[in-house]
Structure 1
Amino acid sequence: MRTREEQQSDPYPTTVEIHCLNQFLMEDWDEEWDRISEELEEQDIPVPEGYYEIQKQILDLHQDMSVVEILESEEDDDGEMWYTIIDVEEQKIHPGMPRYALMFADKPYSTDIFLDNVFRHDMRVPDSLFPQTWKNRQAAKYQNM
């Protein structure tokens, strides 16, 4: 992901913005994750292969996100990227953000679903395509049997 400075010479498309999951904007989010990991280790609960990928996918489903800009990026010894970001709305700087906390998103009203005069047509399916037992009109008849 490009920093604000890198985007001066190589910008992202104007319809794209970077979002950060709000869980990562809370104070001490990393300490909470470390605490949970330590508890798992103390209880000898093995971390299954792909656990962190699954955790990331669950976080991705959460839609509570803020628009951010990347100020700095840094690669650690393991090859993972860490970012210093600024919350655009609150103008607060958050260092040490992992890559999985950030995602690209379309800016509001930038996709074609919002365009005027685009083709929109409800797709009607004839009743004859469905079996009688699936139809709501028949439901009461079959419930009384």
Structure 2
Amino acid sequence: SLFRGQDWLQLNLEELQQSTTISGLLLELVATRDIREGEEILLDYGSAWETAWDRHLKAWTKSPGMYTPAHVMDQVASKLRTDEEQKEYPYADNLQTSCFYEYEQDTATADGAASSSKKKKREVTTIPWEMSRTIFDWKNLRPCSILQRSDSHHHQGGHLYTVRIRNRPGLAPNSRIPRGEMHLVSKVPRQAIRFTDKIYTTDQHLPQAFRYPIGIPDDIFPEAW
């Protein structure tokens, strides 16, 4: 095995608890015979899990209220509603709009950017959206609010949007919009905007979702444990 902390297999639980090493344990699945092409592999989660699953299937009912997965909305919504329109016709509570956009703190001073000349409580910066080779990298996807839609100007068969770019957890310091700055991006094509599920709102977090511990036989664990 190539995982870190192989010596942990010989430690008891008290010794493991005192370890300051970074995490390194993993569960390896080893085939005891050759697996044929196209062969279905089944994992035995234990009889208790199977009983709980059967009980869940019999008792399951559809979640109350409106729930639409983000990927479904992306397929059907070619024209996006602005924040103002959403006051009357809101999207499902679990959905938010996110934009592919590369932001660095020097972006606001780049060519084409326009900033408010007077110092106000909230500085507004506007910059046009630009296509790049790396723009659709998932690390560039971040929450955005749809402020305006250009109904009169179609871009390759779609509308162009003005959006407000927001921060999200996990961004590098130079990719975070400074506190107090409103960063607007104009001429954003529909293909650069995605519906995403808000945190803890995907189907696995619904009240009726199935949850039960997966059983692991005791003989899998090292004797020292």
SS in 1 for 2:83: coil
> Could you tell me how far apart the structure 2 residues matched to 1:116 and 1:11 are?
22
Give the letter aligned to residue 81 of structure 1: H
- After superposing on structure 2, the runs of 4+ consecutive aligned residues of structure 1 that deviate more than 6 Å are none
* Greater share of helix: 1
TM-score by length of 1: 0.54
Structure 2 partner of 1:99: 190
Kindly name which structure, 1 or 2, has the bigger radius of gyration based on alpha carbons.
2
Q: Which ranges of structure 1 fall in alignment gaps of 5 or more residues?
A: 37-54, 125-145
What is the deviation of 1:87? 1.5
**2:99 alignment partner, one of 20, 25, 47:** 20
Number of matched pairs: 99
> Could you tell me how far apart the structure 2 residues matched to 1:115 and 1:100 are?
29
Measured against aligned partners, the alpha-carbon deviations of 1:70-129 in whole angstroms (never above 9, x if no partner) come to 0000142554210000013443111111111100000000123235784245499xxxxx
> Could you tell me how far apart the structure 1 residues matched to 2:215 and 2:101 are?
38
> Could you tell me how far apart the structure 2 residues matched to 1:20 and 1:120 are?
32
Residues 145, 164 of structure 2: 8 Å contact kept: yes
**2:149 alignment partner, one of 73, 76, 80:** 73
Measured against aligned partners, the alpha-carbon deviations of 1:26-64 in whole angstroms (never above 9, x if no partner) come to 64652x65xx8xxxxxxxxxxxxxxxxxx99xx2x6243
Q: Which ranges of structure 2 fall in alignment gaps of 5 or more residues?
A: 1-79, 108-127, 168-176, 217-225
Aligned residue runs from structure 1 range 1-145, under 5 A? 1-23=80-102, 25=103, 27=107, 30=130, 33=132, 59=136, 62-75=138-151, 76-77=153-154, 79-89=157-167, 90=177, 91-115=182-206, 118-120=209-211, 122=214
Give the letter aligned to residue 197 of structure 2: D
Q: RMSD of aligned C-alpha atoms? A: 3.2
> Could you tell me how far apart the structure 1 residues matched to 2:96 and 2:145 are?
8
> Could you tell me how far apart the structure 2 residues matched to 1:6 and 1:72 are?
10
